[in-house]
Amino acid sequence: MIAKLKYRYTPEEYLEIERNAEYKSEYFDGEIFAMAGASERHNLISGNVFAALHAQFRKRPCKVYSNDMRLNVSQTGLYTYPDIAAVCGQARFDDEHKDILLNPAVIMEVLSKSTQDYDRGEKFKNYQTIDSLEEYLLISQEKVHIEHYIRQPGHQWLFSEIDNIRKSVILTSINCKLKLTDIYDKVEI
């Protein structure tokens, strides 16, 4: 019996397909992975975080991007769509399309049962290779719970958790504060 070889896409082939596709896909190591839709809680949390950061970025040289901004992890070749990415200073893009961000300071993922292991594991390993990345947040949609990673000297990451709705997350790299009451506003848990 002859094993069928799996076709491996180049990054250029992926981008040509992705820029014309109706649905978003991620790319890694020659493979294209279709992305699933998100729940109401996921959408509310992402929208709440986006709105809170956008308001704090007014009149500042910072930008926040939602899950439609593609990110390229140059060191590993991963193309993905973080739920939230933020940049202070000049945003850098892969090409003239300006649809592939290269230098986020903060990345946030809203956890789902199907992606939480990947978001904590392989995806975070990829993200850690981004030189500009200072902070990584994982936001639960099942309960009030934030996992916060802050880059330390020597490529170490300081981890903390917050599960008190009356507390806030301080994002020092972008000089912002996110109240958990704002993150979870209108989210039924």
Average pLDDT over residues 112-119: 93
Domain count, the chain: 1
Evaluate whether 64 touches 55 at the Cβ level (below 8 Å): no
5 in any annotated domain: no
The predicted-structure confidence for 147-156, as pLDDT tens digits, reads as follows 999 999 988 9
CATH code (residue 64)? 3.90.1570.10
Q: Measured between alpha carbons, how far apart are the two ends of the chain, in Å?
A: 52
2 in any annotated domain: no
Evaluate whether 71 touches 100 at the Cβ level (below 8 Å): yes
DSSP H or E segment with residue 142: none
168 in any annotated domain: yes
At 2 the pLDDT is: 60
The predicted-structure confidence for 2-41, as pLDDT tens digits, reads as follows 666 688 999 999 999 999 998 999 999 999 999 988 899 9
23 in any annotated domain: no
Alpha-carbon distances of 125 from 10, 155, 176, rounded to whole Å? 22, 11, 25
Evaluate whether 135 touches 171 at the Cβ level (below 8 Å): yes
Please give the residue range of the domain that contains residue 45: 36-183
Alpha-carbon distances of 135 from 14, 36, 86, 91, 174, rounded to whole Å? 28, 25, 10, 16, 9
Residues 30-55, buried b or exposed e (16+ Cβ, 10 A)? eebeeeeebeebbbbbbebbbebbee
71 in any annotated domain: yes
Q: pTM for this structure?
A: 0.94
177 in any annotated domain: yes
Instruction: Determine the distance from the C-alpha atom of residue 63 to the mean position of all C-alpha atoms in its chain, rounded to a whole number.
Output: 14
d(CA 43, CA 51): 12
The predicted-structure confidence for 81-113, as pLDDT tens digits, reads as follows 999 999 999 999 999 999 999 999 999 999 999
Find where tokens 């500009």 sit. 132
6 in any annotated domain: no
69 in any annotated domain: yes
Rounded to 5 degrees, what are φ and ψ at 40?
A: -60, -45
Alpha-carbon distances of 157 from 4, 103, 136, rounded to whole Å? 42, 18, 9
